[in-house]
A and B are shown apart, each in its own frame.
Chain A
């Protein structure tokens, strides 16, 4: 296992800059998730790390050794692909053993390695099968097994769960998490699914248009997004944004005027701003409570989605826009109802006109 260090990594395809200087430090045994919208460069970055794509500029270190220009194998990485990429004409055993055999390892060693990995992944009864005789989940496990047997320094996962159906995805996700705890391997994992990122990652790297937007632990990103982009990306359903203006600044409390003229207060340090600045106010669906005491807002329910343990209320606020509320599932709301809800001042997020977050005051719970 190994640490990975990226130093101002850049990638250009022809005249198009895809990655504009990525700096990243990955500790030994860390599970790092690269997340971002499609086309943000996360998969490209993974391919640069793997050595399948050439690095245009910058330095890549694995275990303090500069590995630019080295072949994937010499870097000691193993990659698991979204499409599994199993060799279709080889059975499961051969698929997993192929790399070792090529490396000239002796037969009993290969045998033991493969059987051990297969047991770990619970595919030891499938070793004689061909890939086309396996289900999607089983194929994905074989692909992971093929990576494990090589004892790589770094595991690279390229959206490994995207081709699985929903329930299998959850199950495999849990297994991946357990596997990581067991192997204590350094893992770099690309996904566009924020739930995967939040649940699996020790560290999440949010990417946007070829740049790293923010790096941090899942909860840190949730509570302290540096930009509006990150705030919108982490959390489901997405954070609600409303246009507003600062009406009075303060170190511990900021008064914000919404477009309708309603004023609400937030526990946010706005000492670097001034009254009258245009801002975006961020409200997480799960932070808006009914009934409420502070920062009352009222609106009309346009749609209710009942999910059982909770419900999503789509509420139209006159002159403001539509908000999504996540509330307890035990409710009687229906479309057309008038609701009044509120939001605690310390649950609000504020972003300036450039999309940068204003500092939130930390509560003891979220302190990290």
Chain B
């Protein structure tokens, strides 16, 4: 938002407009951050303090790290994080690669079935993948992939690919045709054209797609629960569930685990969004 308002001339009308815009965005930010902040502050409080004053900050009486101790020492938190990280990175990486390739092929080459494939990808955006859970499960069982991270990665690729192809296709279209033609005159093979010319130019778009793809995968509980509930293959979101009991829920541990779970995804997001902002501004200045 800073970028946009920076370019506006400072007439009174624009000032009021920018105040309104900022107010709306601030309100949204507060609403979006509220649950996260509640999770984080309560992760550092005693169980009693959590229930007595859920919104209060931890003070000397209520401060405790019991939840973190519980999570880090008495559960396989490291393993869960690792599983989540592996699944997320593999899935996002493959979605980006395959999505960019598909987007390039669908926009650059004319071939039979081009429209049909594009149409199927569009359908993929509209139809939620969870509708197919039962058949996905039976497929995975038949392939002997139940309780493996591979199953999750495959499903997440399928889940992320349609939107990735859609967004990247739009970006591919903005790349001037002359660039690929110049490369063809330079005797560059089609693969090299894709990897050496198209892919670097798609970076900002890929950052966007990475963010869009990454968050739902990291946060997903559904598929880990169904496809990979085994102790060895649990992801963070599923791992946290062991503290949620039928009769007693260990809120300290749940909130601490969730707090820890935010960290890796936050780091990933920072990396991608830097790339995203750099891409946006470089395009704007030119």
Are A73 and B182 in contact, with the CB atoms below 8 A?
Answer: no
Alpha-carbon distance A87/B199, docked complex (angstroms)? 12
Q: Please measure, in the bound complex, the distance between the C-alpha atom of A74 and the C-alpha atom of B286, giving whole angstroms.
A: 35
Q: Which residues of chain B in 174-221 are interfacial with respect to chain A, using CB atoms and an 8 Å cutoff?
A: 176, 178-179, 181-189, 192, 196-197, 200-201
Q: Complex: how many Å from CA A103 to CA B188?
A: 8
Residue-wise interface mask of A (44-78) relative to B, using a CB-CB cutoff of 8 A (1 in contact, 0 not): 00000011100000000000000000011110011
Give Cα A77–Cα B186 distance, bound, in whole angstroms.
Answer: 9
CB distance from B97 to the nearest CB of A (A): 18
Asked if A89 and B181 sit within 8 Å, CB to CB, the answer is no
CA gap between A81 and B184 in the complex, in Å = 13
A79, B182: Cβ atoms closer than 8 Å: yes
| A217 beta carbon closer than 8 Å to chain B | no
Q: How many residues of B contact A (CB 8 A)?
A: 18
Task: Encode B159-185 as 1/0 by CB contact (under 8 A) with A.
Answer: 000000000000000001011011111
**A154 vs chain B, min Cβ distance (A):** 11
Contact A87:B197 (CB < 8 A) given known A52-B181, A79-B182, A132-B286: yes
- By beta carbon, the residue of chain A nearest B282 is A132
The residue of chain A having its C-beta at the shortest distance from the C-beta of B203 within the complex is A89
A222 at the interface (CB under 8 A from B): no
Task: Give A159 to B160 CA distance when docked, in angstroms.
Answer: 43
The A-B contact count (CB < 8 A) is: 60
Q: How large is the interface on A (under 10, 10 to 19, 20 to 34, 35 or more residues)?
A: 20 to 34
Q: How far is the CB of B6 from chain A (nearest CB, A)?
A: 21
Q: How far is the CA of A335 from the CA of B196 in the complex (A)?
A: 62
> Which of these, A52, A89, A102, contacts B186 with CB under 8 Å?
A102
Contact B178 A85 (CB under 8 A): yes
B201/A88 in contact, CB under 8 A: yes
Nearest-Cβ distance from residue B179 to partner chain A, whole angstroms: 5
Q: Which residues 86-111 of A sit at the B interface, judged by CB distance below 8 A?
A: 86-89, 98-99, 102-103
Q: In the complex, what's the smallest C-beta–C-beta distance from B153 to chain A, in angstroms?
A: 30
Enumerate chain B residues within 8 angstroms of A88, measured Cβ to Cβ.
179, 201
Whether A81 contacts B186 by the Cβ 8 Å rule is no
Asked if A99 and B200 make an inter-chain contact with CB atoms under 8 angstroms apart, the answer reads no
Kindly name the residue among B178, B183, B201 whose own CB sees the greatest number of chain A CB atoms within 10 A.
Answer: B178
A73-B178 contact given A89-B200, A89-B201, A102-B192, CB 8 Å threshold: no
Known contacts A87-B197, A89-B200; decide if A99 and B186 are in contact (CB<8 Å): yes
Residues of B within 8 A of A172 (CB): none
- Can you name 17 A-B pairs with beta carbons within 8 Å? A52-B181, A52-B184, A71-B184, A72-B185, A72-B187, A74-B187, A79-B181, A81-B181, A81-B182, A84-B178, A85-B176, A86-B182, A87-B197, A99-B187, A102-B186, A102-B187, A102-B188
**Which chain A residues have a beta carbon within 8 Å of chain B's beta carbons?**
50-52, 71-74, 77-79, 81-89, 98-99, 102-103, 132, 146, 150
The 4 closest A-B pairs by CB, nearest first: A73-B187, A99-B186, A85-B178, A85-B182
With A72-B185, A85-B178, A98-B183 given, name 5 new contacts (CB 8 A).
Answer: A51-B184, A77-B185, A82-B178, A99-B188, A102-B192
